[in-house]
Structure 1
Amino acid sequence: IEWDMVPYDVQLLGGVALLQGRIAEMKTGEGKTLVAVAPIYLNALVGRGVHIVTVNPYLAQRDCEWMAPVFNYLGLNSDVIDKYDAHSPGRRTAYRSDITYGTNNEFGFDYLRDNSFVVDPDQLVQRDHHFAIIDEVDSVLIDEARTPLIISGPVPQPDDDRFTELRSPIDRLVSQQKKLVAQFVADAEKSLAERDSMEGSDRKRVAELEAEAGLALLRASRGFQKNKKLRKLLSEPGVAQLLQRTEFTYLQDNAKNMPFVDDELYYALDEKQHAIEMTEKGRQFISKAAGQPTDLFVLPDIGVEVAQFEQDYSKATAELETRYENESLDEEKKQNKLLNDRRLVKKDLEDKKRTLYSEYADRAERLHAIEQLLKAYTLYEKDVEYIVQDGRVMIVDTHTGRVLPGRRYSDGLHQAIEAKEQVKVQAPTQTYATITLQNYFRMYSKLSGMTGTAETEAEELHKIYGVDVVVVPTNKPIARDDRNDLVFKTRRAKYSAVIDKIREYNKKGQPVLVGTTSVEVSETLSRMLKRGGIKHNVLNAKRDRAEQEALIVADAGKQGAVTIATNMAGRGTDIKLGPGVRERGGLAIIGTERHESRRIDLQLRGRAGRQGDDGVSQFYVSLDDNLMRLFSSDRVAKVMDRMNLEEDAVIEHPWVNKSIERAQKKVEQNNFGIRKRQLEYDDVLNAQREVIYDRRRHALLGERMQGDLMDMLRDVIEDIVGPHYAEGTLEEMREDILRTLAFDLEIDRETFVKLGDDGMVERVFETAMDFYNRKRDALARPFHDSMAKLQSSDQANKPERVFVDFTDGRKIIRSVVKIEDAVESNGQEVNDAMERAALLSFIDSHWTDHLRNLDELKEGIGLRAFGQRDPLIEYKMEAFKMFTGLMGTIGHDFVSFVLKSGPLVDGQRQNVRASAPQSKLDPKKARVEKEAPKTSFGVGGDGNGQSAADRDPSSRAQPVVVEEKVGRNDACPCGSGKKYKHCHGRT
């Protein structure tokens, strides 16, 4: 190995910070990749693995290749997870390397896959979360923290396409709103013109005209703030201040007069809060345009209706009891007739509830589609938040300007945008697994990171992740000239000035890097440069290739180069100056707009002046820019008004920079608040996720399965016995036990009363355990004999594993049994494998439903603030109730399946397939490891727990069939002691 990169002292300081579990802020070009080598080596020596997290696969691959010779020389190995497919042997090997490189998303997704889709321990890829070093740590832990990692898939039965159906009414609504806003702007212009013509002759009338103009401006601003005439009018002297005064007036007293402003609009838009609210006028318009009833937006009060149904049910059952008391029948017949009639009344109640819930869900889904379409039309802009490419809507990362392939907006928003853009609306999806990056990286025992800009976010990094920021000095003093911002009235004037400056730098051969905040702006500047005959490169979401991007950025320091980059694409790649560039002033940085985060601006500036090189940076800002328009234009506009500047005029002053930085701090505080609030909500889910994933891991590894099953069995029995004992309904309790646990409890009423509640639970539990153990033994014996024969046969390609399908008459669960384990355990491994597969299946399906229910809860929980209740506390309480119900449902279904199920025989397959629910999760199919001999066993590989009903019949492996065909009057093989036709032979 050649020793040609000796670390500087400041690089050793950075290494010490990483070793201590801190974040090292080191400027661009200071050699962060080399800084990480020493702490990586020292932490890898303990043999628990070190994860190096980067922002894209190219950087992960590059850094691994650069440093591999050093680590190999030191006796350590390294690999990159992004090179391999999920759950592939290569990825498992990469995680078992001493040092593992990869992207933040893939580390997080592998964690979710390991805890959501894996059905065999051999499929697990990740090890413990020991130590991680995150490159560009601010991008990962701050910028991307608001977007949770989600693995989703199609819903079993997709909804009909409401988005396409409702697109036209929403499109017309938005058009009407724009016309209305144009009218308000015209009214404001008219009032202001009349005011100016009076020259103060009638003060009362002048005040009236100003009030009229202010109200019209406020309505226009809340209706469509980006209206070009409105933006132009606000740039005139005094108009922006008039709008602010009017807004302040109506916001007083908790904005109680704001409805007067909004009632004339179809909907009110708050861009700062990224929120939209439809008015009564808008609701009436949509109802009419969509051909829906006028009460479309009124949801029925389900609680009141259900309470009435329950009251009617109680009244009907009381009448039945009174009627049968007066009939002269023997007690047994009377009880049987009463039981049957009660069932009919109960069925009628359930039918009424189902109808009510169906109507409610239909209307709620329609309203949800309207809300999401309105958001898509008003808050999400093409070529800013997303692009349309190859007939698909692709999300753009607002922090990096890159496309996020495979990502979709949740909660129907992505479908709404697809309907808006008139591309194919993809099938709706549901969440299978989710985690925020905040909670994922908090799992690491030690966390550290590197970036050029972390000091501005030091408070958040300490509060949320518990890590401190250390600012490491540069090796050489910074010589870059950071100039004051240039502020223009309009974007047109700003862009013209930018092009003139690029032309000036280009003429003298000085390289220029132009930073933009959106795809739209980069394309606009590119067209202007083409017209001017200036050669240039563009890096944005439409040209998203990390390797090509890095090469272009690396060449951006050559003489005469002009590069346009959206939100500092190419992060992590050095821009080294070419020959003759230092003499021409070094790299010139032009920012076309201030980003809402100071860090992004500092990153852009930091591309110039590496290792003491010369350079210059300057931002060009207009009052039309989003940051200025929403947060800071009033202060700057006042000064421009006083100076009476023309549209093309520019101001440059240090306090303008301070004013803009104040605006950025406002946005940063707001975004920190959003991330903190999101984390508080996700912490609730995280606690539940840990319990579910622990229970799932027990099932996967077969640990504590017996203990978990006995706990769940006792809970199920308590749920059955408790209510029935309180009401004294012995026969109904026996029926519930038979229906749920598959055995008939022999007990008379005298013993039932004498035992008491707790004693009854113990009696049923002991009977259930006895039944369970007899059933296991009855199943194990024939399986052991069959598999022992298969193991001892002389066949060349003997299978290592077999599929065994079990069913309870409704659901089919496929388990994968290792033949060697089955023989060694005297056939009990068949039972264990079934229990593992069943518990995994029920956990996965019910957890998916629970995630959807939590999303729906979170969506509406904010409304409880109107009742003076803290939404977060309410969410915690409701989520806990839902989770308690989830655990009960999983336990009930699992215990019931274990006690009721038996091996699936061919005669049952068709009947079960017709009633078997569709699998919600669609994990990777089990691999076939060896060629199957001709036998009744279904030979397979890792197994996936998916129901046989969901497989392609042509490729389906046959289940294990080890017994002769059971006659209808024979004893049932499950061990219940009943005839087959009265037990598992029932269809």
Structure 2
Amino acid sequence: MLASLAKSIFGSSNDRYVAKLGKIVETINSYEPTISAMTDDELRNQTALFRQRLAEGTKLDDLLPEAFATVREASKRTLGLRHFDVQMIGGIALHRGEIAEMRTGEGKTLVATLATYLNALPGKGVHVVTVNDYLARRDADWMGQIYRFLGLEVGVIVPNLSDVERRNAYLADITYATNNELGFDYLRDNMKFSRDQMVQRPFNHAIVDEVDSILIDEARTPLIISGPTDDKSELYMSVDAIVKQFVETDYEKDEKQKSIVLTEEGTEKAERMLEDAGLIEGSNLYNIANTQVVHHLNQALKANKMFKRDIDYIVKDDKVVIIDEFTGRMMDGRRWSDGLHQAVEAKEGVNIEPENQTLASITFQNYFRMYPKLSGMTGTALTEAPEFFDIYRMNVVSIPTNVPVQRIDEDDEFYKNITDKFAAIAKEIKGRQEKGQPVLVGTVSIEKSEMLSEYLEQEGIRHSVLNARFHESEAHIVAQAGRIGAVTIATNMAGRGTDIKLGGNLEFRIEDELSDMPEGPERDAIIARFAAEIEAERQQVLAAGGLFVLGTERHESRRIDNQLRGRSGRQGDPGLSRFYLSLDDDLLRIFGPQTAFARLMNKNLEDGEAIVSPWISKAIETAQKKVEARNYDIRKQVVEFDDVMNDQRKVIYEQRAEIMDADNVSDVIEDFRAETIQGLVMASCPEGTYPEQWDVEGLRANLDEVLDLQPPVEQWLGEEEVEQAIIIERVHALADEKMAAKIEGADLERWVQVEKNLLIQTLDHHWKEHLATLDALRAVIHLRSYAQKKPIDEYKQEAFALFERLLITIREDVTKMLMRAQVQIEEPMPMPMMSAGDFALPEFITNHIDPFSGDDDTADVDAGGNLLSNLPPLQAPRPPLPESIADGETIVAPDSRNAPCPCGSGRKYKHCHGQAA
């Protein structure tokens, strides 16, 4: 009570902060008379003056008032739009790395120009992130008029650009792009072989539009670049044959959770059978070396004991086709991830198609946290403020509206079932349309949109249906959703980026109806007529009550409901919003049946009757809060697991960058050789043991295999006071001598290039294998919770051990290949040249996979943008062989074109030196 009293007297902390920013706006406004008096050339010259002052040591914060006033004036001259004072407050929040929460229709796109211009002045680049390609193009063209007028370059990143075009766009002062394009470009850059092939430059500042959609909703699913793996059909069939021998006492299954685990007896049985089949190392199934086999075993177990033919899938034309559990329809082309589909194919004895293997991945959380400064804007962020601060360290600032909101938000109406609800909705819409009031209907899925559309057709109601598939054409429909009697059904209003103006949108109407008409008096006359018609229509819509927003059910998140509501009541317009609910709705079905409210409704409510109660609306909001908390926990779990991989990713990517930047990597190669020799010697001659206890035969075999050396180890052991350090020193000297003799007379410049290519390709090959192992580990690590262990802690320990092993393997492989290589002085094989920077790994695809459910969100209707890579199917460059690197003098083709290439690249022969064969 005291808190609410204090708030009413002093205002909230947000109110006080906004009031403080208002003083800065007063300073900005004081510059307006001076800047308004400037000529266009003088105004344009402000950019050069600002940059000069920055070079002299002035800080961006000190330039802010003048820079913002400059942008405001440039906007007036190019777009005819003058920033409101509240928009200036939003711009200051963006500059400070905060989230500006501004209601729909308050001009967030224009607000971004303020902070974007100011932070682009140092020349380090600013990324403006949008949710789809249409908005990226539109905003780059529309707001780009301001930037270009002030002398700044603007770039835009959309699918199907060449690497040269992408690099030029990133080099611009300001770059508009979607979150997916930015993330995939980062991953692709770190798979390339030289700096000049990379397109991005060091990160500076990102401003994220619809920040809640990008950093919250899409953050659950990481960006993944994957490619086909080697054929593992035999492994799938071998494991499947073992699983088919299990009986019910060997496993426990939970059909509700669709999970299955081996019992203690089952584990012992599996260990014996896998050991007999030679599929595991040692006799312990859970040895770290057996991680991938355990993963395949679990998937085979699930395929055989949980998934049922003709219920979960059917076999058609020698293929396993998934059946949708909700609709019963076949889902051609869809495949279960993580090897589950292959396990079902092995079970049914059909052709096993290779699974895709992760080549690179990153979550949006870890991608955007790489920016030194990150800010965002949206209409709805306060409900997720704790998550924004916990994950991104960004505060949410609620910016007041320019004109007080006139919209009325009515309490929800509850119906017994979905039939009654849709009948009531159709009746309500028909009545509103007859009196000329426009209606915007929000649904939670495409299926519900189509269902409601059928109801409206039966009632003879004219309407448009949107489902977020064609952003550009739908922007035109949304723009005219405020016309007399318009009825628009939208699956999701987040990220539409187009205002609903009452009476219609003049710009879009001109584009739709006059795009082919040349400039001239006739066109101007028609535009004037359009403007008059829109104004007259606007007055009629205002008289009818403004835009009516109708929600067909509550979303899991209050944020999405608020986004829908916010479309009405733009810039002080009147409006109305109401949600229609029933016990069949997903939210009520999951959280409602156990409540007294649900029992009461089933018992006392007549067919077609509705209940309106603020108490019930409050109960639904509580249910939404529970779902939001659960979804936050899931996202937090994703980022916790990815943080482990992120630390390792940084190490690998930094090493790659250092190798690419280095003129000579001989020092690295020598360090690798020294550490490998030390490791080999210490493995056979452990510290604290006597020479007679050493494994001399093992040491000789290892030195021969890895270093191609046959040193007189027995002779050394016959000497007095022999120690491990002496042996290490002597082996090292022999190895150095052999390497020096090998490259004597060779072209050193070409040899350095060979070393660099070998280092990068070995690093990439083993990093890819490491990612596959981590994926398998993450899929099974939750089982440790049965032993009262925390899965994330276990994952960290196992992942660290695997990473140490990865570094040792890279070291040994590089040393082995160079020590065993035969150097022949001959003309170098030509390195394939990249045309116009078009670089792609062979056959890779980009996708957006949920790491826990395995759902593919690549084509998610809310994600926006085309995620599938449309790059041409170019081959990766073959490793150049200036001096032929192989055990023999030339590359000898292996028996199978699918076998690893003898050059040591880690790729199949057909994708490497067998391309031309």
- TM-score, normalization by structure 2: 0.71
Matched residue count: 715
1:90 alignment counterpart: 165
1:861 to 2:781 alignment: yes
1:512 alignment counterpart: 439
CA contact (8 A) 2:258 2:306 kept: no
SS at match of 1:896: helix
Name the amino acid aligned to 1:879: A
1:889 to 2:809 alignment: yes
State the 1:143 CA deviation: 0.3
State the 1:612 CA deviation: 0.8
State the 1:418 CA deviation: 12
Q: Residues 772, 663 of structure 1: CA spacing in aligned structure 2 closer, same or farther, 3 A cutoff?
A: same
CA contact (8 A) 2:407 2:576 kept: yes
SS at match of 2:761: helix
CA contact (8 A) 1:730 1:749 kept: no
CA contact (8 A) 1:516 1:591 kept: yes
Q: Distance in 2 between matches of 1:856 and 1:268?
A: 22
State the 1:51 CA deviation: 0.6
Residue deviations 1:423-477 (CA, integer Å, cap 9, x gap): 9997421111011000000000000000000000000000110110000000011
The match for 1:53 among 108, 111, 129 is 129
2:203 alignment counterpart: 129
State the 1:24 CA deviation: 0.2
Q: Single out whichever of 756-765 and 358-367 deviates more from structure 2.
A: 358-367
Q: Residues 954, 875 of structure 1: CA spacing in aligned structure 2 closer, same or farther, 3 A cutoff?
A: closer
The match for 1:576 among 501, 513, 516 is 501
State the 1:902 CA deviation: 2.9
Q: Residues 392, 955 of structure 1: CA spacing in aligned structure 2 closer, same or farther, 3 A cutoff?
A: closer
Residue deviations 1:498-521 (CA, integer Å, cap 9, x gap): 111111111112111111111211
Q: Residues 534, 436 of structure 1: CA spacing in aligned structure 2 closer, same or farther, 3 A cutoff?
A: same
2:372 alignment counterpart: 445
Q: Distance in 1 between matches of 2:232 and 2:271?
A: 27
State the 1:576 CA deviation: 1.2
SS at match of 2:481: helix
Q: Distance in 1 between matches of 2:343 and 2:485?
A: 44
Q: Distance in 1 between matches of 2:434 and 2:235?
A: 56
Q: Residues 29, 669 of structure 1: CA spacing in aligned structure 2 closer, same or farther, 3 A cutoff?
A: same
1:76 alignment counterpart: 152
State the 1:893 CA deviation: 0.7
Residue deviations 1:904-932 (CA, integer Å, cap 9, x gap): 899xx9xxxxxxxxx9986943689xxxx
Q: Single out whichever of 760-769 and 471-480 deviates more from structure 2.
A: 760-769
CA contact (8 A) 1:383 1:518 kept: no
Q: Distance in 2 between matches of 1:722 and 1:419?
A: 44
1:733 alignment counterpart: 699
1:850 to 2:770 alignment: yes
1:536 alignment counterpart: 463
1:411 alignment counterpart: 338
State the 1:745 CA deviation: 2.3
Q: Distance in 2 between matches of 1:372 and 1:51?
A: 47
1:776 to 2:743 alignment: yes
2:219 alignment counterpart: 145
CA contact (8 A) 1:635 1:659 kept: no
1:649 to 2:609 alignment: yes
SS at match of 1:144: helix
Name the amino acid aligned to 2:435: K
Q: Residues 414, 302 of structure 1: CA spacing in aligned structure 2 closer, same or farther, 3 A cutoff?
A: closer
Q: Residues 703, 436 of structure 1: CA spacing in aligned structure 2 closer, same or farther, 3 A cutoff?
A: farther
Q: Single out whichever of 512-521 and 75-84 deviates more from structure 2.
A: 75-84
Q: Single out whichever of 357-366 and 888-897 deviates more from structure 2.
A: 357-366
Q: Single out whichever of 498-507 and 589-598 deviates more from structure 2.
A: 498-507
Q: Distance in 1 between matches of 2:549 and 2:345?
A: 36
Matches within 5 A, 1:867-886: 867-886=787-806
Q: Distance in 1 between matches of 2:643 and 2:914?
A: 45
1:553 alignment counterpart: 478
CA contact (8 A) 1:490 1:624 kept: yes
State the 1:84 CA deviation: 4.4
Q: Distance in 2 between matches of 1:949 and 1:549?
A: 48
The match for 1:766 among 722, 726, 733 is 733
- TM-score, normalization by structure 1: 0.66
CA contact (8 A) 1:925 1:944 kept: no
Q: Distance in 2 between matches of 1:714 and 1:610?
A: 70
CA contact (8 A) 2:79 2:145 kept: no
Q: Distance in 1 between matches of 2:146 and 2:281?
A: 73
Matches within 5 A, 1:718-757: 718-726=678-686, 727-747=693-713, 748-750=715-717, 754-757=721-724
SS at match of 1:755: coil
Residue deviations 1:358-400 (CA, integer Å, cap 9, x gap): 99776444224358857997899959899988x444xxxxxxx
1:276 alignment counterpart: 258
SS at match of 1:754: coil
Q: Residues 357, 114 of structure 1: CA spacing in aligned structure 2 closer, same or farther, 3 A cutoff?
A: closer
1:564 to 2:489 alignment: yes
Name the amino acid aligned to 2:665: M
State the 1:302 CA deviation: 6.8
| Higher Rg of the two aligned structures | 1
Residue deviations 1:596-618 (CA, integer Å, cap 9, x gap): 00000000111111111111111
Q: Residues 375, 614 of structure 1: CA spacing in aligned structure 2 closer, same or farther, 3 A cutoff?
A: farther
Q: Distance in 2 between matches of 1:161 and 1:473?
A: 62
Name the amino acid aligned to 1:268: E
State the 1:842 CA deviation: 1.4
Q: Residues 842, 955 of structure 1: CA spacing in aligned structure 2 closer, same or farther, 3 A cutoff?
A: closer
Name the amino acid aligned to 2:470: R
Name the amino acid aligned to 1:524: M
1:839 to 2:821 alignment: no
CA contact (8 A) 1:546 1:570 kept: no
C-alpha RMSD over aligned residues: 4.3
Q: Distance in 1 between matches of 2:443 and 2:590?
A: 18
Q: Distance in 1 between matches of 2:812 and 2:495?
A: 53
Q: Distance in 2 between matches of 1:357 and 1:481?
A: 58
Instruction: Give ranges in structure 2 of 5+ residues lacking alignment.
Output: 1-76, 314-321, 504-536, 687-692, 830-840, 845-872, 879-889, 892-902
Name the amino acid aligned to 1:560: G
SS at match of 2:172: coil
Matches within 5 A, 1:441-840: 441-540=368-467, 544-568=469-493, 571-578=496-503, 579=537, 580-635=540-595, 637=597, 640-641=600-601, 644-702=604-662, 705-726=665-686, 727-747=693-713, 748-750=715-717, 754-778=721-745, 780=746, 827-840=747-760
State the 1:698 CA deviation: 2.1
State the 1:61 CA deviation: 0.4
2:300 alignment counterpart: 366
Name the amino acid aligned to 1:155: T
Matches within 5 A, 1:198-209: none
Identity of aligned residues (%): 43
CA contact (8 A) 1:22 1:470 kept: yes
SS at match of 1:484: coil
State the 1:564 CA deviation: 1.1
Residue deviations 1:57-95 (CA, integer Å, cap 9, x gap): 00000000001121112111011111543x621011111
CA contact (8 A) 2:323 2:330 kept: no
SS at match of 1:75: coil
CA contact (8 A) 1:53 1:132 kept: yes
Q: Residues 302, 296 of structure 1: CA spacing in aligned structure 2 closer, same or farther, 3 A cutoff?
A: closer
Q: Distance in 2 between matches of 1:381 and 1:348?
A: 40
State the 1:734 CA deviation: 2.8
Q: Residues 611, 592 of structure 1: CA spacing in aligned structure 2 closer, same or farther, 3 A cutoff?
A: same
